[in-house]
Amino acid sequence: MKKLVTILSVLLFSICCIGQTTMSFHYVHAVPMGKYEQNLMHQPSGIAFEYMKGIDKIKNLQIGGSFNVSMYQNEDYEGQVNLSEPGSTYIETNEDDCYYIYQGIARYSVTPEKAFLRPYIQGQVGGTTYFSTLSVMENSGSDLSGRTQNHGTTWLVGFAGGMQIRLFEGAAIDLSVGYNDSGNVEYRSSPDLQNSAQYRVDLRSHLQESKVKHLSLKLGIAMVF
């Protein structure tokens, strides 16, 4: 009981001592590693949002979270496929292969809040979810409808180092390089070009399972309140 009271007291103290707020918007480019790299034709890219709060009693420390959505494939395909027996149907499709990343962050900045250059290091832990969205062109002449398929979710943990370059009061350029490790998860691999139309019809096919560890390169704007 005494330990529980101590933990709750620390959490309450932290919440009551929240200080400076930072909101950041980034362009994100991922560099896959290992088997993950072998299964993708393109490197993922997307956008990320971060929300951080300072802790008044712990100088230069911020806690918060980030949300990132990225795409690693966006292709148009057309061809004859067997949707039902007998005979085949000509279709035109588009597929987006994407993922979400959502992580909690603890960040420590090396220099004071108003320094021109503010390097930082951070730890991050959370998860990632992979999904694909199929769209069917209106002129395809098919009754096939578009849909979204979630493939899998796994944990994601890593660290990053970055630099904020102050532009003026309340705004800074924010750039960072991070590394994320993960568990195994299913995701759509790059297309089989010999059977591309059928590949685009069935979102449950051509799945690969592996770790999705990667480097993450971010460039954006941080706004301080």
Q: What is the CATH number of the domain that holds 210?
A: 2.40.160.20
Residue 122 counted as domain residue:
yes
Q: Count CB atoms within 10 A of the CB of residue 93.
A: 23
For residue 89, what pLDDT is reported? 75
Residue 11 counted as domain residue:
no
Q: Greater confidence, 79 or 153?
A: 153
Cα 51 to Cα 195: distance, rounded to the nearest angstrom: 43
In which band, very low, low, confident or very high, does the pLDDT at 201 lie, cut at 50, 70 and 90? confident
Tokens for 162, please give them. 């970055």
CA separation, residue 78 to residues 20, 133, 188 (Å): 52, 16, 19
pTM value is 0.85
In which band, very low, low, confident or very high, does the pLDDT at 109 lie, cut at 50, 70 and 90? very high
For residue 137, what pLDDT is reported? 75
CA separation, residue 168 to residues 25, 27, 80 (Å): 17, 21, 58
β pairing state of 214-224 and 171-182: antiparallel
In which band, very low, low, confident or very high, does the pLDDT at 105 lie, cut at 50, 70 and 90? very high
Three-state DSSP at 14 gives: helix
Q: Can you tell me which residue has the tokens 């290091």?
A: 121
Cα 164 to Cα 60: distance, rounded to the nearest angstrom: 13
Structural domains counted in the chain: 1
- pLDDT for residue 147 is more than 90: no
For residue 203, what pLDDT is reported? 85
**Contact (Cβ atoms closer than 8 angstroms) between residue 10 and residue 3:** no
Residue 73 counted as domain residue:
yes
- pLDDT for residue 66 is more than 80: yes
Residue 56 counted as domain residue:
yes
Three-state DSSP at 104 gives: strand
On the CB side of 135, CA atoms within 13 Å amount to 10
Cα 37 to Cα 195: distance, rounded to the nearest angstrom: 22
In which band, very low, low, confident or very high, does the pLDDT at 8 lie, cut at 50, 70 and 90? very low
Q: Greater confidence, 100 or 88?
A: 100
Residue 14 counted as domain residue:
no
Residue 40 counted as domain residue:
yes
Q: Can you tell me which residue has the tokens 């409808």?
A: 145
In which band, very low, low, confident or very high, does the pLDDT at 140 lie, cut at 50, 70 and 90? low
In which band, very low, low, confident or very high, does the pLDDT at 139 lie, cut at 50, 70 and 90? low
Residue 10 counted as domain residue:
no
- pLDDT for residue 127 is more than 70: yes
Average pLDDT on 190-209 reads 77
Residue 1 counted as domain residue:
no
Domain that holds residue 139: 19-224
